Amino acid sequence: MFPARPLPLTSIPSIHWRNQVRHRRAATLRAASLALHLLVAIIVGVGGGADSAAATATAGVTLTWASEVTGQTLALVNHAPAQVGAPATRTPVVFYLLNLPAPRIGTESDDVLIADLLAQGLRVVTVDYRSHPRARVPQLNRDLHQLRTAAQQGLLGGDSVDLARVYLVPSGHRLERDLPYAEEAGRTLCFDLIAPSRPARSVGVVLEFSCDNANRMGNASLQVCSDTVLDAAATEGHAVAMADHPVPAPYKGIDPMPACALRAKAAVRAVRQASLARGLNGRIVPFGFSRGSGIALLLVTTRNQSEFEGYGACAGVPSDVQGAVILSGRFTYLDLLPGDPMIPRYEKAWGPRASHETVWRRHGALTYAAGALDVPLFLSINEAESPEALHQMQVLRNTLAARKSPFVYAPESDGRGHRVPLSPSVLAGLHAYLSERLTAASPTP
């Protein structure tokens, strides 16, 4: 049973810049549609008779898809689950990535893993990269983003796909869904774990808190934000976990605190316990973008602070993290640009800053770091972001530098604004950081 301890109801604002995204969403999807050159022809039905679980699945179809990364046309073979819902039911989809050039860390066969996905009622679409040498991070991220774009635009049949549950799973990894990390009145907070099955070596976990408060694997949010970090990290052999955002939908830009910190720490503990039980090394690095960036930073700055411990499903498990990837967000509320459009909302929630400075102070993740952090950070932001976002990143960098706290800063300059990086130069450094922070043998700094 989970502790019945009630959560405080003090409110704070979210670390989020999504208003820009909403205004550009339609234009982004139209542009992506023109750029994709996505497949077209239904070629053949897949018959029975083969021995593998993939081939013996319910008859599917093969589509062709133009891979930007490889410059080749790849086959996407559809496998429907044996058990399907009512005709109007939308089915979750897994893109299962075969024959990637990166080392395969999971040792369980594709037959077994695909059969397990089908048994869960998931539709599986295999994508065979045929060991093409460019199908690795940092180039592969663009294809991963295009697969999500293709799904969003109806490549797999818009009326039949559950776009709230679209997964990218590399060969050798197992998908486990709806693992709980905290239970509250009317809501169970969960995470999805994609991890090497029977791993050849012990690996760590990249943890993200979803930017979709209703559906943690919502494809629209991941596609619009070009968020490929978890998908790509899994192809390099790491485990990845997407957790429910601490704030339930509908999201209004205000986060309860310390409730969010308590829930985030509970997620870390549950992910660590699940990873250790599956033969992984227990190391965790949170990745945060937009409304998730401050939460990722908070997990570092609140290390060993007892007020945030003891909540959730695994209260006795350590909640420390071994680094953090921090992208655009809000990290302090005491140093805002005078024209910041969020200030009226903060004043409504907390009162004027001049007379309520203590309230404003305790809501910023930077507040909890008294000195140098225990772990190095990786920071990035697009240089075409809003002035408010760029200012917050500068404040974070200045604070870390003044405290001699190590970090890597790798800005993106492609002009895309409020997006997760896709530039190979940024992604190469980001994934090198993840590999370094996740490969030690035990969950220590």
Alpha-carbon span 189 to 99, nearest angstrom = 34
Please choose, from the candidates 299, 300, 319, 301, the residue with its C-alpha nearest in 3D space to the C-alpha of residue 309: 319
Region class of 224: left (phi > 0), else alpha (psi between -120 and 50), else beta = alpha
Q: What is the CATH number of the domain that holds 320?
A: 3.40.50.1820
Domain check: are 149 and 199 in the same one? no
Please report whether residue 77 resides in a domain: yes
**Does residue 150 share a domain with residue 197?**
no
Say if CB 125 and CB 150 are below 8 A apart.
Answer: no
Instruction: Identify whether residues 16 and 62 lie together within a single domain.
Output: no
Identify whether 231 is part of a domain: no
Which of the listed residues 152, 168, 184 is the one where a domain comes to its end? 168
Return the top range by mean pLDDT from 4-13, 41-50, 158-167, 202-211. 202-211
30 φψ region: left (φ > 0), alpha (ψ -120 to 50), beta (else): alpha
In a domain, 28, yes or no: no
Structural domain of residue 396, as residue ranges?
11-23+170-219+239-438
pLDDT, tens digit (0-9, with 9 covering 90-100), for 55-78 = 333 345 788 899 999 999 999 999
DSSP letter at 308?
G
Question: Around Cβ 164, how many Cβ atoms within 10 Å?
Answer: 16
Average confidence (pLDDT) over 214-237: 96
Beta pairing class for 239-243 and 205-209:
parallel
Residue recorded with tokens 């130069």 = 425
Q: Are 78 and 97 in a shared domain? A: yes
Residue 5 lies in a domain: no
Whether the Cβ atoms of residue 244 and residue 406 lie closer than 8 Å to each other: no
Could you tell me which residues are beta bridge partners of residue 291?
none
pLDDT band of residue 313 (cuts 50, 70, 90) is confident
User: Is 6 contained in some domain?
Assistant: no
Domain final residue pick, 140, 168, 196: 168
Same domain (yes/no): 92, 176: no
**Do 333 and 393 belong together in one domain?**
yes
Asked whether residue 94 falls in the same domain as residue 178, the answer is no
Contacts of 355 (CB under 8 A, 6+ apart): none
Q: Report the domain count for the chain.
A: 2
Residues 404 and 259 in one domain: yes
Is residue 104 domain-resident? yes
Angle at 216 between CA 349 and CA 103, to 5 degrees: 135
Looking at the fold, whether 266 and 388 belong to one and the same domain comes out as yes
| Average pLDDT of the residues in 188-214 | 95
Same domain, 271 and 397: yes
| Cα 159–Cα 127–Cα 131 angle in degrees, nearest 5 | 165
Report which of residues 265 and 49 the model is more confident about: 265
Considering 138, 168, 198, which residue would you say is the last residue of a domain?
168
Better-scored residue on pLDDT, 156 or 276: 276
Task: Answer yes or no: do 121 and 203 share one domain.
Answer: no
How far apart (Å, rounded) are the C-alpha atoms in residues 201 and 313?
A: 27
Tell me: pLDDT of 303 over 60: yes
- The answer to whether residue 232 is domain-embedded is no
Judge whether residue 43 has pLDDT over 80. Answer: no
Q: Is residue 356, in this structure, part of any structural domain at all?
A: yes
Domain co-membership, 58 together with 185 = no
